[in-house]
Structure 1
């Protein structure tokens, strides 16, 4: 159905910049870390832009530019400025837009900037002008400041962690925008409130309570007459800015109802703050390795959570490799372990130069982190090159995410019972296909640089443990050294914490 006010298809732009950035990670994200799409390639990221879809004839989708990277360290300022300038230039060159789908993450940090999403979204609003409705799709680990939210007309976030609904969230943002424009109702009310709680994502999985029930309430709130959307963000714990905290936004045409529902959600989250627990059993590295070796469950998965690249870790810490080889059963080969995803391009090059079957002595890890803190030194590894893979022989890029392309060249080195997969680029291992020619089911232990297990790994694991390891996304927030967050903030301040003012504000 065409909007009655115009009688023509809606012109809706699509663009954005998405990355999750740990300010405790020594890595710096550059332009080469981003997958940048434009034109037809950008539209092909989404199912709802298809010419044969139910929105065909209603909307003319206008591809702008979209840049997305695997989480990492803060974005270099020149990279950010380059992408922001292209996005805003393309908005201005596109002609008048009725709406814009702002496809972002919400936890981007940029060197030299506070509240990077607010800066980006303010520039987008300046380029579109006030008449264009902007609808943002976000990760629930984003940080939603007032300065950021006030530039938007609609905003929504994932309702699942792990984010099995990521593409559904983007489609909801787009469909809410289209429905709003067709209705001619204009900008809705947005009831916004922040909650002084900041928790790591591994304590807020929607597989468990209380997050399961809190996020389970959102669809019912959205279904109320007069409400358009309800969203809850847990925030991003590995940035160190005032905006870092949980938030609620309820969007609707009934301002009183939106305020009431936002307040109720915020109070429920605050009341449950001490009930959040880690998504799985935890321990330090040595404890987790010992329990896994002793267990009959195979394969037994361990999360090297502090160096998780999909949360913003550098992915180059050899700490867990050292602890694996310190265990006698693994060092001797009586038990086997596969440890994928240790980033070290120089070590990969040395393995390729040596060739399959060669014995090599390498100093692995620390290519970003060496010297930046404890546990960052390279590890001296002597072993046999047991696998080499060129780019393209691993699974290939997944839809819409860049750097899930196998991490460039990869080399596997085996010492005793431990095989480590070295990568040229920071890369996650979330599915069996990501392991390439090495089958994780062939090993007793699989130790992955990840936090909570993604669905395929979760289904694969006969048992698993979350190792509370050091790194740029350390789960123990109190040992990271935040100093710019706004206090008081749970769990940094727990005793004598006065009841916070959770009164929502209309934007």
Structure 2
């Protein structure tokens, strides 16, 4: 039985966290600078709802420790994690007495030699701040929630939309729930956790379509129940091979009966819908997608194609040349007066440097790609005209557009996701008037989704291959859908997780 606590009129709350999606099926490695860490007061500038004068900012004294978020990528090196986590812990130790801590993470970070990295980090955080500090954890719905992470968190929540249009809303909810708990003096919440033996790609679980649309609509209904503070469903992260990787449900609140009933309802809903999850768009081979795009009328353009296997926003290395090689080999695209294609993108720092030296309008021959992931195709040599050059992008640093026949290839010094219309128009490209826009992405982000008159997902190779069965998972809990066609009904009863001040006990999975 949790005990009432003393209300705190204006609590002191620290903010800390490290976030990344790490594909263990990519040869890439992620180093510390990729996290772009912010420290101290700078941390607060990440969150519009904590701007000076906002109600939530005024409701507490917020102290930034260290928050770093990296573009999804490969496994984080042990040295990078040690550097960042040691600094985070040291800065927390310098903040003085705290009432609460907001742990802002992603939930799918893999570090060399460490399983369940976020729980390991939160255990160190708790050792530093002490057992009385209340912790609220906010996550991506593609994160992973182990028993240990649920145990160490007093409050825990995640996004409810994929694509993640509610990312900032989720963070605000996590911070607000923490303030409410501290200022009312309510006991630590009861947490009901249920692992669900399903592991699907994000592109199969988009909340734009059924069944995820209805599965996630039930979250709001459970949260509205008397005795419930928050409810959340995690899809999990499909492109890492760790025991924690699977779907999960956590419901928190003051009532054991309510959170238990709510968690079991959500878990059953997810499990019962498992066979109905499908890709958010039609799929095919890259050649199939190109054939269909070329066959469409002008009214159905721009035609968007997702090059899914090397999607950098899911953990792909971003430099797989397999897709671009096939595009450039198509005879339809060799004539500059033929169909207009935009390809985004391919890292190639040496190629970018050559193009920058030559200048806009010059004809250059450059080689790019396959410096990190050369398992599917080698470096690609292209001859084309430099169409545009742009410096200063926070991700790419330098971008170059090379026109090769009718294909406008975006080359970058560092990998970059292309999610917004300005990503193209800043490079003097017009995606709305192009015949085909081919982007390394999974489901289309909102601006691209709105722009596309037709769209298909190409099932291409890479570190985030959509064909999960051919990747080779061997450490996840089995049986697991869809890896095991026939499997017995799982145990979807709620596991009530004790407060972090009490022992976790023996696993009852």
Normalised by the shorter chain, which TM-score bucket? over 0.9
Q: How far did 1:358 drift?
A: 2.3
Rounded Cα–Cα distance in structure 1 between residues aligned with 2:351 and 2:36:
25
Instruction: Give CA deviations for 1:260-313 in whole Å, capped at 9, x if unaligned.
Output: 111111111111101000000110111001101111111111001111000000
Aligned residue for 1:468? Answer: 459
Q: How far did 1:423 drift?
A: 0.5
Instruction: Give CA deviations for 1:428-487 in whole Å, capped at 9, x if unaligned.
Output: 000011122222223210000100000000011011111111110000001111111111
CA contact (8 A) 1:406 1:434 kept: no
Rounded Cα–Cα distance in structure 2 between residues aligned with 1:179 and 1:228:
10
Q: How far did 1:10 drift?
A: 0.5
Aligned residue for 1:483? Answer: 474
Rounded Cα–Cα distance in structure 2 between residues aligned with 1:134 and 1:488:
33
CA contact (8 A) 2:187 2:254 kept: no
User: Is the deviation greater in 283-292 or in 32-41?
Assistant: 32-41
Task: Provide the secondary structure at the position in 1 that maps to 2:23.
Answer: coil
Rounded Cα–Cα distance in structure 2 between residues aligned with 1:48 and 1:284:
43
Distance 1:103 1:7, change over 3 A: closer
Rounded Cα–Cα distance in structure 2 between residues aligned with 1:505 and 1:47:
35
Q: How far did 1:7 drift?
A: 5.9
Please point out which of 302, 313, 325 is paired with 1:322. Answer: 325
Rounded Cα–Cα distance in structure 1 between residues aligned with 2:364 and 2:483:
45
Instruction: Give CA deviations for 1:209-251 in whole Å, capped at 9, x if unaligned.
Output: 0100010011111111110000000000000001010000000
1:48 has 2:71 as partner: no
Alignment of 1:98-247 (within 5 A): 98-247=99-248
Instruction: Give CA deviations for 1:94-126 in whole Å, capped at 9, x if unaligned.
Output: 111111111000001111111111111111111
Rounded Cα–Cα distance in structure 2 between residues aligned with 1:57 and 1:461:
42
Q: TM-score, normalised by structure 1?
A: 0.94
Task: Provide the secondary structure at the position in 2 that maps to 1:478.
Answer: helix
User: Is the deviation greater in 7-16 or in 47-56?
Assistant: 47-56
Please point out which of 395, 406, 414 is paired with 2:403. Answer: 414
* Runs of 4 or more above 6 Å deviation: none
1:429 has 2:432 as partner: no
Aligned residue for 2:311? Answer: 308
Q: How far did 1:504 drift?
A: 1.4
CA contact (8 A) 1:305 1:474 kept: yes
Alignment of 1:348-497 (within 5 A): 348-370=352-374, 373=375, 375-392=376-393, 405-435=394-424, 436-437=426-427, 438-495=429-486, 497=487
Task: Provide the secondary structure at the position in 1 that maps to 2:259.
Answer: helix
Instruction: Give CA deviations for 1:399-447 in whole Å, capped at 9, x if unaligned.
Output: xxxxxx2511111111111110000111100001112222222321000
Aligned residue for 2:503? Answer: none
Instruction: Give CA deviations for 1:339-390 in whole Å, capped at 9, x if unaligned.
Output: 01211112111212222222222222101112xx2x2311221222221111
CA contact (8 A) 1:430 1:454 kept: yes
CA contact (8 A) 2:7 2:184 kept: no
Aligned residue for 2:62? Answer: 61
Q: Aligned pairs, how many?
A: 489
Task: Provide the secondary structure at the position in 2 that maps to 1:156.
Answer: strand
Q: Which runs of 5+ in 1 are unaligned?
A: 393-404
Aligned residue for 1:502? Answer: 492
CA contact (8 A) 1:348 1:411 kept: yes
Task: Provide the secondary structure at the position in 1 that maps to 2:152.
Answer: coil
CA contact (8 A) 1:20 1:105 kept: yes
CA contact (8 A) 2:8 2:184 kept: no
Rounded Cα–Cα distance in structure 1 between residues aligned with 2:480 and 2:392:
45
Rounded Cα–Cα distance in structure 2 between residues aligned with 1:280 and 1:337:
20
CA contact (8 A) 2:370 2:378 kept: yes
Q: How far did 1:8 drift?
A: 4.5
CA contact (8 A) 2:304 2:438 kept: yes
The root-mean-square deviation of aligned C-alpha atoms, in Å, is: 1.4
Distance 1:51 1:138, change over 3 A: same
User: Is the deviation greater in 244-253 or in 5-14?
Assistant: 5-14
Task: Provide the secondary structure at the position in 1 that maps to 2:397.
Answer: coil
CA contact (8 A) 2:7 2:183 kept: no
Q: TM-score, normalised by structure 2?
A: 0.94
CA contact (8 A) 1:306 1:472 kept: yes
CA contact (8 A) 2:108 2:143 kept: yes
